[in-house]
């Protein structure tokens, strides 16, 4: 089975490719290795895949999904059976500063991908959405039946647009598609722009950490191993053609939340990092940032019932795994003369 993974050098893409290679899949990975954060981490992930013991089943191509001609070539030349689309311009706060990069990657890039799936044709498209689509929704936990018409960031708006675009292609061309609304993914090889990464770096360096909304926040943190298990279960659960209670438009289409279903306080989160680091944090309390939300909480019963997904990792053990990886990563950088 050949699977195309976009964003393969990214955090989730890397772990997914690593797991799929171990399971015997043939993986075609693409990534543009952009500089949204330090490309050296992306290159390290990619190096691990290229030197993987199952690397004979892995092929990497460096390209940008917003390039229409290149995407057409990928689907024509390789004709992947399944597609897991993880490439995107990420980050809520970054979207306030660089909005056009979100249109290029998350909208034009996604359209190019859908066109490729139509022409291949692909047996199942699984793509990354985000808990950000819920915005400031009042109802908790967030349920996929909730209205998500009021995004509070451009990033969230592009992810909602992806869901609508995928539905139209599923309806018109009968492409089975599953969107996964990820809830705050963390773990080894994680993104340096995420809070847990920044907190760990600052705490070990003895510098203050910025605690937004004065610490009054809860997040549904989801460990990377649980996420990968969920993505693989979603890939095997191909949606059938149905209509919704709101429309007679039939489509083999599904949206799921993929989270831990156990939001924790920012205080507990920071304490877990302090314990793993063996150092107490210096806190700098600040108001809420634009585009951010005070609480994320995933309702996952539908996903669990349909796929068997059950998150297993508690925040303390997940953070400990990350911190242990981070210390080794920084030591490796220091030994090679690269700044951490």
Domains of the chain and any CATH numbers: 2-183+222-259+297-312 (3.40.50.720)
Task: Average the pLDDT over 30-44 and give the result.
Answer: 93
Over 70: is that where the pLDDT of 334 sits?
Answer: no
Task: Average the pLDDT over 148-176 and give the result.
Answer: 95
* Band of pLDDT at residue 338, cut at 50, 70 and 90: very low
Q: pLDDT tens digits for 65-121?
A: 999 999 999 999 999 999 999 999 987 778 878 899 999 999 999 999 999 999 988
Asked whether 291 and 152 are in contact (CB, 8 A), the reply is: yes
Over 60: is that where the pLDDT of 253 sits?
Answer: yes
Over 70: is that where the pLDDT of 337 sits?
Answer: no
- The pLDDT assigned to 38 comes to 87
Asked whether 313 and 259 are in contact (CB, 8 A), the reply is: no
The better pLDDT of the pair 98, 62 is held by 62
CA angle 138, 141, 146 (to 5 degrees): 65
- The pLDDT assigned to 340 comes to 40
Pair of tokens at residue 299: 């309702």
Task: Average the pLDDT over 41-50 and give the result.
Answer: 96
* Band of pLDDT at residue 160, cut at 50, 70 and 90: very high
Task: Average the pLDDT over 124-142 and give the result.
Answer: 93
Torsions phi, psi for 29 (to 5 deg): -110, 135
Whole-angstrom distance, CA of residue 258 vs CA of residue 303: 7
- The pLDDT assigned to 92 comes to 75
- The pLDDT assigned to 224 comes to 98
- The pLDDT assigned to 296 comes to 87
Whole-angstrom distance, CA of residue 247 vs CA of residue 314: 39
What is the biggest distance separating any 2 CA atoms in the chain, rounded to whole angstroms? 61
CB within 8 Å of 147: residues ≥ 6 apart: 137
Q: State in Å, rounded, how far the first CA of the chain is from the last one.
A: 39
Pair of tokens at residue 324: 């242990």
Name the residues annotated as catalytic: 155
- For residue 121, whether the previous peptide bond is cis, meaning omega lies within 30 degrees of 0, is yes
The better pLDDT of the pair 217, 93 is held by 217
Q: Are strands 185-186 and 222-223 parallel, antiparallel or unpaired?
A: parallel
Residue with tokens 């429309």: 247
- The pLDDT assigned to 336 comes to 47
What percentage of the chain carries pLDDT values higher than 90?
A: 80
């Amino acid at each position: 089975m050949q699977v195309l993974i976009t964003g393969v050098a990214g955090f989730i893409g890397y772990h997914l490719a690593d797991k799929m290679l171990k399971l015997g899949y043939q993986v075609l990975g693409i990534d543009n290795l952009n500089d949204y954060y330090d490309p050296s981490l992306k290159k390290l992930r990619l190096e691990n895949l290229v030197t993987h013991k199952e690397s004979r089943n892995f092929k990497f191509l460096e390209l940008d999904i917003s390039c229409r001609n290149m995407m057409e070539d990928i689907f024509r030349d390789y004709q992947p059976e399944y597609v897991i689309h993880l490439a995107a311009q990420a980050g809520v706060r970054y979207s306030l500063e660089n909005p056009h990069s979100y249109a290029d990657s998350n909208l034009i890039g996604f359209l190019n991908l859908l066109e490729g799936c139509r022409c291949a044709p692909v047996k199942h498209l699984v793509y990354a959405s985000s808990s950000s689509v819920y915005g400031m929704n009042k109802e908790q936990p967030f349920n996929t039946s909730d209205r998500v018409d009021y995004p509070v960031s451009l990033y969230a708006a592009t992810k909602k647009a992806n869901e609508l675009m995928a539905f139209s292609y599923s309806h018109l061309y009968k492409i089975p598609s599953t969107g996964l609304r990820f809830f705050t993914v963390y773990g080894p090889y994680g993104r340096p722009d995420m809070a847990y990464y920044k907190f760990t770096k600052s705490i070990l360096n003895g510098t203050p950490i910025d605690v937004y909304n004065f610490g009054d926040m809860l997040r549904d943190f989801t460990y990377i191993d649980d996420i990968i298990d969920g993505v693989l279960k979603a890939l095997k659960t191909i949606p059938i053609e149905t209509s919704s209670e709101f429309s007679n438009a039939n489509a083999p289409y599904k949206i799921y939340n993929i989270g831990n279903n156990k939001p924790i306080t920012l205080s507990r989160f920071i304490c877990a990092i302090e314990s793993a680091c063996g150092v107490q944090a210096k806190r700098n309390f600040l108001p809420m940032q634009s585009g951010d939300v005070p609480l994320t909480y995933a309702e996952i019963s539908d996903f669990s019932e349909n796929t068997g997904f059950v998150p297993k990792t508690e925040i303390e053990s997940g953070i400990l795994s990350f911190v242990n990886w981070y210390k080794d990563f920084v030591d490796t950088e220091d030994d090679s003369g690269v700044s951490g």
